[in-house]
Amino acid sequence: MTAPLDLDLDIDAGDWTKAEVDAIENAVVAALDGAVIDGALWEDDAVPTDGTPDKGDGASLLSIAPVIEVGVRLSDDASVRVLNRDYRGKDSPTNVLSFAALESADDAADFMMTPDMPLILGDIIVARETCAREAAEQNKALINHLVHLTVHGTLHLVGYDHMVDDEAEEMEELERQILARLGIDDPYEPIEDQDVETGQ
């Protein structure tokens, strides 16, 4: 079970609906739950505090932190383009950016210097126009695409990456599992004849 979440969600720009904002909040929670199940940010010396039996092999820091802090900014292409240029050297907008505060479980353990200190994971920024364009091009419901990208961005905050094939396969499989629990089809499979509005 994941520790309590302190989610700082702000709408910086763009025309976001309440349903999209709610779905994005739920996606962050689902991604963290999936990461705990998968053993993300595992610390061998940690003792479970969530009621799971202590097998002496450690616990995910995501389950033992007193609180987890994540920032989500819902934005537009112009803002994301600047961030993408300044931090990644790519002068174009992208769908989602993640700025992780941690690189590993060791970093997470360092952050948790006292029992009441929150585990700060970092920030996710989502660009509405790019997401909407991609959803239309891929014949996907926008809300499902936003959920997928939020899950993807959240997993980056807890150490998952896709720079090499093995890591990409692991991350994509975890995304599929999380999205399936949310009732969303495999985002990596081509979608044919799906209603873009309903996702059905």
On the CB side of 56, CA atoms within 13 Å amount to 0
Please report where in the chains the tokens 């989610």 appear, as a residue: 7
Given pLDDT bands bounded at 50, 70 and 90, which one contains residue 17? Answer: very high
d(CA 115, CA 64): 9
**pLDDT, averaged across the chain:** 85
Given pLDDT bands bounded at 50, 70 and 90, which one contains residue 177? Answer: very high
Q: Between 70 and 50, where is the model more confident? A: 70
Q: Between 13 and 50, where is the model more confident? A: 13
pLDDT above 80: residue 185: yes
Nearest-5° Cα angle at 176, 191 to 40:
155
Spatial contact of 32 and 158, defined as CB atoms under 8 Å apart: yes
DSSP conformational letter for 86: H
d(CA 112, CA 97): 25
Note the pLDDT tens digit of each residue in 98-130: 999 877 656 666 665 566 788 889 999 999 999
Alpha helices in the chain (DSSP H): 18-38, 61-64, 77-88, 105-111, 128-137, 142-157, 165-181
Q: Which pTM value belongs to this model?
A: 0.87
d(CA 189, CA 8): 32
Note the pLDDT tens digit of each residue in 37-69: 888 877 776 666 666 655 666 777 788 888 899
Q: What is residue 194's predicted lDDT score, i.e. its pLDDT?
A: 53
Spatial contact of 33 and 159, defined as CB atoms under 8 Å apart: no
Mean pLDDT score, 156-164: 84
Q: What is residue 52's predicted lDDT score, i.e. its pLDDT?
A: 62
Q: What is residue 63's predicted lDDT score, i.e. its pLDDT?
A: 83
